[in-house]
Amino acid sequence: MTVATLTALRVDRRRRTVRSVGVTTALACTVAALFVLTMMVGSYRLSAGQVIASVLHLTDNPSVDFVVRGLRLPTALAALAVGLALGASGTIFQQLLRNPLASPDFVGVTSGASLAAVSGIVLLHAAGLAVCAYALGGALLAALLMYVLAWRDGVSGYRFILIGIGVAAFLDGLIGYVLSRARLTEARQAMHWLTGSVGQASDTELRFLLYALLVLLPAAVLLQRQLRALELGDDSARALGVRTELSRASLLAIAVLLVALAVAVAGPIVFVALIAGPVANRLLGPAAGGIAAAALTGAALLLTADLVAVHLLPVPLPTGVVTGAVGAPYLLWLLATTNRQGVGG
């Protein structure tokens, strides 16, 4: 390799690093602005200064503190935390399985959480934290089932996706059966949970998710080098010194835990995990694949969706309705473009 080639590689790497840092910083600033904005608007409008001062406990204004810390901050934190979790988990699934359609919404993880939560509500009359626990357990069991079924001297991304789609269809059928056996009040409660809304998270559930993010997100970022190597294929990854199955299992475990916790807290909010990674990659350009950027994109998407759902529509709607309305056209476009490129089958 010539000196000129090495110099060009160093320049290209430096350019990618600068762009990655710049885009990630811009996304962080956007998320911070949206986070404050969601607490400014409403029937009782506040300035950015009032919101920031109340959140940071810099002033003592009972009426402002009640509106900000008592009413709006929990929902804003839930949108932020759930968006971060869904964005990170979605891009890990897509990069690990090497398919832009490999979202936890479609490969059975979300369906496992939904079946367990609906069964808990309808059959065991569960509520609150118990529903969260059932959803978390259901997502983990569904992911474990898919991993075992997809194992053939290793896990193939294509096989995992196909098995995941089949498992999701089976679990969705079971959800329909459980709902058909429910009483009206329980069915209404279950359907409300299935719609997905960041406003339904309790303080305990939200606190647990925030603590989990402090552990899982840094762990995912630390494994990003292994994730990039696995994108090249198992043989190339082994040549680069990556322990393929251990790295794949670790990344899948992190992604499943992130989406399971997000669904347990807010219900199955669809399409955020699917969209966040590709949007972040468009912004990153040659530096595509950043988990931190995808997580921040997910947070920005969900904060925006919550802002639209609650404040910009004539009638307030659950957050999942807005993400579904935006995500469905994107999915159709993605299916059309991937098939045109020979990726989507």
47-86: pLDDT as tens digits: 888 999 989 888 888 888 888 888 889 999 999 999 999 9
User: At 323, which CATH number?
Assistant: 1.10.3470.10
For residue 288, pLDDT beyond 70: no
Domain ranges, residue 298: 16-340
The predicted structure's pLDDT at residue 96:
87
Round the average pLDDT of the chain to a whole number and report it: 85
Q: In this structure, is residue 345 part of a structural domain?
A: no
Q: In this structure, is residue 168 part of a structural domain?
A: yes
The predicted structure's pLDDT at residue 155:
67
Q: What percentage of the chain reaches a pLDDT higher than 70?
A: 91
The predicted structure's pLDDT at residue 125:
81
The predicted structure's pLDDT at residue 290:
83
pTM of this structure: 0.89
The predicted structure's pLDDT at residue 301:
93
One-letter amino acid of 65: D
For residue 1, pLDDT beyond 60: no
Q: In this structure, is residue 4 part of a structural domain?
A: no
C-alpha 76/C-alpha 156 separation (Å) is: 38
Q: In this structure, is residue 5 part of a structural domain?
A: no
Q: In this structure, is residue 334 part of a structural domain?
A: yes
Average pLDDT of the segment spanning 11-21: 76
The predicted structure's pLDDT at residue 339:
54
Q: In this structure, is residue 2 part of a structural domain?
A: no
Burial of 108 (0-12, 13-18, 19+ CB in 10 A): buried
202-228: pLDDT as tens digits: 788 888 899 999 999 999 999 988 888
Q: Into how many domains does the chain fold?
A: 1
pLDDT band at 27; cut points 50, 70, 90: very high
Q: What percentage of the chain reaches a pLDDT higher than 90?
A: 24
Contact by Cβ (8 Å): 87, 275: no
Q: In this structure, is residue 245 part of a structural domain?
A: yes
C-alpha 88/C-alpha 66 separation (Å) is: 32
pLDDT band at 345; cut points 50, 70, 90: very low
Q: For 242-276, give the DSSP string.
A: --HHHHHHHHHHHHHHHHHHHHHHH----SHHHHH
